[in-house]
Amino acid sequence: GAGVSQSPSNKVTEKGKDVELRCDPISGHTALYWYRQSLGQGLEFLIYFQGNSAPDKSGLPSDRFSAERTGGSVSTLTIQRTQQEDSAVYLCASSLVGGRMDTQYFGPGTRLTVL
Amino acid sequence: QKEVEQNSGPLSVPEGAIASLNCTYSDRGSQSFFWYRQYSGKSPELIMFIYSNGDKEDGRFTAQLNKASQYVSLLIRDSQPSDSATYLCAIIRDDKIIFGKGTRLHILP
């Protein structure tokens, strides 16, 4: 019954390696969002999944970033060939139905550090 | 012009006073407006949302929306030290939520 969960909570990797970040939304929530927050900055939208619709990938910063959502539930954000500028907190949020009147609930985030 | 603009602060307010946080947005098509609070090292949590012009009150918090002037504000009455956090303004446009960079609020005991 808990909220949105994310794993790992912290990830340290070397430049050039691939990383996978996981998000478990609130049960029953059809919409799932990924954001990135760099130190002292606001939230940068990355990607949005709504039900079975094609995801809105307009926020992905480069083709090194990809995300999938299996079975309408768990989502994985993959960053290939990580760069130091990818270091940030990656936040996942879910909402009941998505769209302009829906409340998003955030997970605790994954802090990614690329050395 | 950024879509959502907030003064980064810090905004220092004495305990017990009213804290006033402001946000302006550029797209007149924006229809939903949210205020999130984010404590240092934590994820954002929703405080208020407002869709219609005017004021919306919830406890010590009041959100004010003026679509003609394209601003939304958050008032916190009887400020408490626990209100010290970063407050993020967000709008929804085309089913996509866009956040401002946030205003750091510091309540002085």
Question: Between these two residues, A43 and B75, which has the higher pLDDT value?
Answer: B75
Contact B101 A56 (CB under 8 A): no
SS (H, E, C) B39-86: CCCCCCEEEEEECCCEEEEECCEEEEEECCCCEEEEEECCCCHHHCEE
Residue of B nearest to A109 (CA): B43
For residue A97, is pLDDT > 80?
Answer: no
Contact B98 A45 (CB under 8 A): yes
> Which of B98, B79, B92, B88 lies closest to B22, judged by CA?
B88
Q: Which among A104, A107, A108 has CB closest to B97? A: A104
Q: Which among B43, B100, B102 has CB closest to A106? A: B43
Q: pLDDT, tens digit, for every residue of B63-81? A: 999 999 999 999 999 999 9
B51 in contact with A, Cβ within 8 Å: yes
Residue in A21, A30, A33, A43 to test binding to B, most B beta-carbons within 10 Å: A43
Please report residues of B whose CB lies closer than 8 A to that of A108: 42-43
pLDDT, position A71: 80
- Average the pLDDT over each of A46-50, A82-86, B91-95, B104-108 and give the range with the smallest value: B91-95
Task: Return the ∠ at Cα A68 (arms to A65 and A64), rounded to 5°.
Answer: 10
Question: Between these two residues, B94 and B107, which has the higher pLDDT value?
Answer: B107
Pull the structure tokens for residue A7.
């794993």
Which residues does A9 contact at the CB level (< 8 Å), separation at least 6?
A: A108, A109, A110, A111
Q: Where does the pLDDT of residue B10 fall: very low under 50, low under 70, confident under 90, or very high at 90 and above?
A: very high
Q: Are A48 and A55 in contact (CB under 8 A)?
A: yes
Contact B99 A48 (CB under 8 A): no
For residue A82, is pLDDT > 80?
Answer: yes
What separation in angstroms does the CA of A80 have from each of A16, A29, A32, B15? 7, 28, 21, 47
Q: Summarize the confidence of residues A15-43 as an average pLDDT.
A: 92
> Which of A80, A106, A91, A101 lies closest to A46, judged by CA?
A91
Beta bridge partners of A50: A31
For residue A100, is pLDDT > 90?
Answer: no
What does the DSSP assignment read for A62-85? STTEEEEEGGGS-EEEEE-S--GG
* Dihedral sign from CA coordinates of B77, B23, A35, A84: negative
Q: pLDDT, tens digit, for every residue of B51-62? A: 889 999 999 999
pLDDT, position A25: 95
Residue where the block lists tokens 């090194």: A64
Contact A100 B98 (CB under 8 A): no
CA–CA separation, B88 vs A17, rounded Å? 32
pLDDT, position A62: 93
Q: Provide the phi-psi class of B26: left if phi over 0, else alpha when psi is between -120 and 50, else beta.
A: alpha
Residue in B43, B51, B58, B86 to test binding to A, most A beta-carbons within 10 Å: B43
pLDDT, position B30: 82
